[in-house]
Amino acid sequence: MEATNGKKEMIVLRIYSVLMLIYSVFDILTVILPRFQIVTIKWNIDPINNFFAFTGISLYSTPINMIVGYGLLRRRFWARYGVIAAMLTFPVQILTQFLWWGAQSLKDYALVIQFLFVILTLLYFSRRPVKALFGETRSFRFISWHGLLVVLIILISFSWIIFALYWKVHAAWRFGYPFFINRPQVVTLEIPKSSEVLEKYRKIELLNVSLLVPREFGIRRLDRIEGKNQKWLVSLQNQGVSTKAYINFRSDSIYDDLLTDETFRKMLGSSSKFNFEKYILTNNWNPRLVVIRSLISPKGEAFETKEIHRNDLKGFLKEWQKGDALFREFSAYNREDTQSIAGIITSIKGYLDEHDVITILSSIEFLKPEDASKSEDHYRNGLKFYKKGDVLQTQVEFANAYCLSPENPDYIFMFAKSLLLKDPKNYDHAKNLLNNVLRLKPDHKDARKLLKEVESNLPKPPKSK
């Protein structure tokens, strides 16, 4: 009976050790070598990674996998202690994942399966028949080479926490970043309804969103953002000789590109864009976010973050000041997290106050996306408002027609023409739009005539000596 049990234990031990060695080779081929561009094959590694994660073998690092796996295969008694040490680091691994990626990265079913395999592994390597296989004729000592291996395994399990702590200290000392980021203040928004608000602002519908803007504002420019999906960036500005404020917003989230990052996508799973932005703005431990926040944050300026909520809307507002200029960067998501916009409100001090900013953000409503068939309707509405002399609504309607049919030369021409109805006139942007019209329709006489007028108003380049 004992011989039979010993044979079963030997089979399990061989399988376990071979799996460890296979995983170390797999890790080298799919992670280490591609990092140095030695191997460029695209691997579908998710199912294999899940298998090794559920069995607890992924708790080892590649060098430990090779050393302990070899030791188990040769039945070296220190290898058994190496396995036990690695399994006991399981709580540290979970803590590290929680600190780096947040609670949303911890999947309940995966944790339960991993925990069960860790317990089974510990029970298996603690059994007397297994001890006999390793020939436990001498006692384990920490002050030895095999003791060093156990200590190394434990230290490696804390390495990512130590690395994160180092980066926090370094970023705080070198760049002045806060050691711990405060949680955003929660602000509840209400849709503005008072007659005073309606007198000072007017509602526009643009880029699948409706919002209030000050009555004296007009569109300064509208640009297509290059990428797989058609995204747009619009800039509005007060009319008049002196520039007092801008409102810029885009028809997507500023974090869309980051969500395509494989590491972020895997660790955050199906997390919403709102939760992803909150993770970026509030996580204290992931060193990668130090770099990301340095790119999206105002350099050298202290700013305050607020979390904004309404029944059907949520998002964030960052505020800071530089000289006499006030900056309010915002993002907004619908409740289902299927639509989003992001933007910034810039104004000189005393022109747009806190109440104005909250009013604009409170008025944001997401509209049902339109298709290209609606572009003709917007074009006709633009012509009606053009005849009435309503500059802003003319620009909005032609801008919508342009967004829905960006290759229609007549829509582009009328939008370019509408930009010249206000002061200050953006001749540079109008010139680019008219050149695009002539690219699509070289015999467009009105566009060619208007382009000459625009070019005559552009500043002349300095003459070369």
Residue 431's pLDDT is what?
A: 93
Mean pLDDT confidence for 176-200: 79
Please determine, for residue 440, whether its predicted confidence score (pLDDT) is greater than 90: yes
Q: Each residue of 315-326: pLDDT tens digit? A: 999 988 888 899
Please determine, for residue 343, whether its predicted confidence score (pLDDT) is greater than 80: yes
Please determine, for residue 47, whether its predicted confidence score (pLDDT) is greater than 50: yes
Q: How confident is the model at residue 186 (pLDDT cuts 50, 70, 90)?
A: very high
Residue 456's pLDDT is what?
A: 86
Mean of all residue pLDDT scores within the chain: 85
Q: How far apart are CA 465 and CA 461, in angstroms?
A: 12
* Residue 70 contacts residue 20 (beta carbons within 8 Å): no
Residue 102's pLDDT is what?
A: 83
Mean pLDDT confidence for 74-86: 90
Query: pTM of the predicted model, to two decimals?
Result: 0.79
Residue 137's pLDDT is what?
A: 60
Mean pLDDT confidence for 172-180: 77
State the number of CA atoms in the 13 A half-sphere of 445 facing the CB.
0
Mean pLDDT confidence for 4-22: 85
Please determine, for residue 138, whether its predicted confidence score (pLDDT) is greater than 70: no
Residue 265's pLDDT is what?
A: 67
Please determine, for residue 270, whether its predicted confidence score (pLDDT) is greater than 80: no
Q: How confident is the model at residue 314 (pLDDT cuts 50, 70, 90)?
A: very high
Q: How confident is the model at residue 344 (pLDDT cuts 50, 70, 90)?
A: very high
Mean pLDDT confidence for 114-125: 91
Which of 426 and 291 is assigned the larger pLDDT? Answer: 426
Residue 5's pLDDT is what?
A: 59
Residue 332's pLDDT is what?
A: 93
Lowest-confidence region among 16-20, 47-51, 173-177, 272-276: 173-177
**What percent of the chain stands above pLDDT 90?**
38
CB-based contacts of 356, cutoff 8 Å, min separation 6: 214
Residue 253's pLDDT is what?
A: 78
Q: Each residue of 350-360: pLDDT tens digit? A: 899 888 999 99
Q: Each residue of 298-310: pLDDT tens digit? A: 655 667 889 999 9
Residue 173's pLDDT is what?
A: 83
Lowest-confidence region among 30-44, 153-167, 239-253, 279-293: 30-44
Residue 31's pLDDT is what?
A: 78
Mean pLDDT confidence for 221-249: 84
Mean pLDDT confidence for 399-408: 94
Residue 299's pLDDT is what?
A: 59
Please determine, for residue 2, whether its predicted confidence score (pLDDT) is greater than 50: no
Q: How confident is the model at residue 135 (pLDDT cuts 50, 70, 90)?
A: confident
Residue 91's pLDDT is what?
A: 93
Query: Which range scores top for mean pLDDT: 173-177, 214-218, 419-423?
Result: 214-218
Inter-CA distances, 37 with 33, 41, 50, Å: 6, 10, 24
Please determine, for residue 232, whether its predicted confidence score (pLDDT) is greater than 60: yes
Mean pLDDT confidence for 391-397: 94
**What percent of the chain stands above pLDDT 70?**
89
Q: How confident is the model at residue 132 (pLDDT cuts 50, 70, 90)?
A: confident
Residue 288's pLDDT is what?
A: 79
> Which residue segments constitute the domains of the chain, with CATH numbers given?
2-157 (no CATH), 185-366 (3.40.1000.10), 372-457 (1.25.40.10)
Please determine, for residue 27, whether its predicted confidence score (pLDDT) is greater than 50: yes
